Structure 1
């Protein structure tokens, strides 16, 4: 997307916020079926990007039903472009995962939910980069898992994007090998301001969303997040062109994104942890450390959702989830780990 989209063309009024029943599942339309509302076309300047969830003044104000057409910078703040560029030398400290936003959602109050319908998430550049940094990764020594032995060297891989074939290509550091990765773009970060006035780094996931690094934050899905502060203060970024499960080296194939979302406000319904839905599946993102705690958070939420959707008892819902759930590891490199638990909706019995 060119960086000259022009001024905002937000309409005077948007789609009315919806009210749900606390504790009950609220079915949502798919992004393509979202009703027409005002449109905000806005691309932030570099100076308008933010590097925390919470603590930043809103850059734009929107109403429920607004379609946001925008762009996000890569996780390296646009500073790493070639295999010769090392993040430790090119990036200012604290400039990981720059965010587009925050967007102040008119009428959003604590206890409400924002539903972010992802309409478009597509690579905005013909290249992307990945990297390894000493002290960061799932199978190397870190500040929390200290190990003897020398650190592996900081290394960057540049990927060239073939938009026609929808692959990203790179070579080994010595040039002797090459590989292609199919494009599967998603947003690594999508979140709202945390509760209690907290300000969290954009490398951290949590109940507010944040750096979940979840491949399901992609076009065609809807992400539901609880509102913790007036206006919600929604922001997103950290585009991933593709990523393996676990993100074990600490970086995906990272790149700038063209993004289009529709933001809906659901009144008087809280969403304690991030929920993701599409026509076929319901999913929860659990955050925690150790890894089993992240899984427990997501599994507990899923049991509660199945109970609410079907009318089953806690114990029956627990049994049901234990037989039908899938639980891929999203990432185990951030300060908190994330696990996804998902279930095929058509498996869930109807309420009787």
Structure 2
């Protein structure tokens, strides 16, 4: 088994999905140990650092990658199993950014109100306790929150030569900000171009569902993942699998269209796995699914349709590749 470690220099960061040459070519079965910078490129280090002064737009959300996968062709299924996602710094940062977030005026939801005031929060990490500490601006309130590392971005190059910002989620994955993209999860993505050209990044030390203010506890991370490739069967939308759930992440605006996208693909997936006809699958999904919001702040919103395995007929997605990779990961 090949184990490849990559810690990119700032000059090697990718800022888009598509349009960037591969940083490395890997074979299916490769284990990648990756370092990824935070969404702010480490520029918010104290509460005095404000986004408008410190960030260099649009150079945020740097990606580690892209990686070309040998043998990957359009229509195939790229499989990325996340073995571990761990903080690479002792602190994370969150911020209110002008005209960005779910509860402020934005360029897409325009009002006559002024943007909310800027503010930065620094979260100190306690590795032994596995917490990150929220501190109020006046210092009177401190709350240790569970450390729950995840990747805000994972995606492949889009189809038809399209180049998309690393701030955008869509059918290719991208900036979905889905808390379930974490250790123990397998991500399935449709390959759109030869080699797939996948990237990961945007580490979060924790994030609430919806990412209401637009930023999580942003932090650099080290990610270990296993790359696999299945010929054909590329899903319409990104799919996730962990030990307890199958899930589909749909993205779009308005919010109900993001919900519909995930629901429709989940119905098709459920029908394929169980042999049910489409309407029976629709009915079963209607009585079993949970639908947490991933983000309601990005250029497109992301909504997850989650199906508990315990409520489904016995099925194995993609020939049991998740179970196989979980066992492989245990040996790593």
TM-score tier (shorter): over 0.9
The Cα shift of 1:279 comes to 2.2
1:261 to 225, 231, 240: 225
Say whether the 8 Å CA contact 2:246–2:307 is kept in structure 1: yes
Task: Name structure 2 gaps, 5 residues minimum.
Answer: 316-332
SS of the residue 1:47 aligns to: helix
Question: Which whole-Å deviations, capped at 9, do the CAs of 1:317-339 have from their partners, x for residues lacking one?
Answer: 11100000000111100010000
Question: Which whole-Å deviations, capped at 9, do the CAs of 1:26-59 have from their partners, x for residues lacking one?
Answer: xxxxxxxxxxx21111211111111111100101
SS of the residue 2:160 aligns to: coil
2:234 to 270, 279, 303: 270
Task: Name structure 1 gaps, 5 residues minimum.
Answer: 1-36
1:166 to 106, 130, 133: 130
| Whole-angstrom distance in 2 between the partners of 1:223 and 1:273 | 11
Say whether the 8 Å CA contact 1:136–1:250 is kept in structure 2: yes
The Cα shift of 1:350 comes to 4.7
Structure 1 segment 31-50 matched on structure 2, within 5 A:
37-50=1-14
Please give the TM-score of this superposition, normalised by the length of structure 2: 0.93
Say whether the 8 Å CA contact 1:205–1:211 is kept in structure 2: yes
| Whole-angstrom distance in 2 between the partners of 1:243 and 1:270 | 29
Please give the TM-score of this superposition, normalised by the length of structure 1: 0.88
Instruction: Mark the CA change 1:104 to 1:173 in structure 2 (over 3 Å): closer, same or farther.
Output: same
The Cα shift of 1:174 comes to 2.1
Corresponding position: 1:337 with 2:323: no
1:147 to 97, 106, 111: 111
| Whole-angstrom distance in 2 between the partners of 1:298 and 1:60 | 31
| Whole-angstrom distance in 1 between the partners of 2:185 and 2:57 | 33
| Whole-angstrom distance in 2 between the partners of 1:96 and 1:248 | 18
| Whole-angstrom distance in 1 between the partners of 2:295 and 2:314 | 33
| Whole-angstrom distance in 2 between the partners of 1:42 and 1:286 | 30
The Cα shift of 1:148 comes to 2.2
Question: Which whole-Å deviations, capped at 9, do the CAs of 1:8-35 have from their partners, x for residues lacking one?
Answer: xxxxxxxxxxxxxxxxxxxxxxxxxxxx
Q: Tell me the equivalent position of 2:183.
A: 219
Say whether the 8 Å CA contact 2:100–2:214 is kept in structure 1: yes
The Cα shift of 1:250 comes to 0.2
Structure 1 segment 84-163 matched on structure 2, within 5 A:
84-163=48-127
Corresponding position: 1:82 with 2:46: yes
Q: Tell me the equivalent position of 1:199.
A: 163
The Cα shift of 1:175 comes to 2.0
Q: Tell me the equivalent position of 1:294.
A: 258
SS of the residue 1:334 aligns to: coil
Say whether the 8 Å CA contact 2:105–2:114 is kept in structure 1: no
The Cα shift of 1:150 comes to 2.4
| Whole-angstrom distance in 1 between the partners of 2:141 and 2:254 | 35
2:172 to 208, 212, 217: 208
The Cα shift of 1:177 comes to 2.0
| Whole-angstrom distance in 2 between the partners of 1:309 and 1:171 | 46
2:244 to 280, 299, 305: 280
SS of the residue 1:303 aligns to: helix
Say whether the 8 Å CA contact 1:239–1:257 is kept in structure 2: yes
Say whether the 8 Å CA contact 1:203–1:335 is kept in structure 2: yes
Say whether the 8 Å CA contact 1:309–1:350 is kept in structure 2: no
Q: Tell me the equivalent position of 1:175.
A: 139
Aligned length: 315
Q: Tell me the equivalent position of 2:209.
A: 245
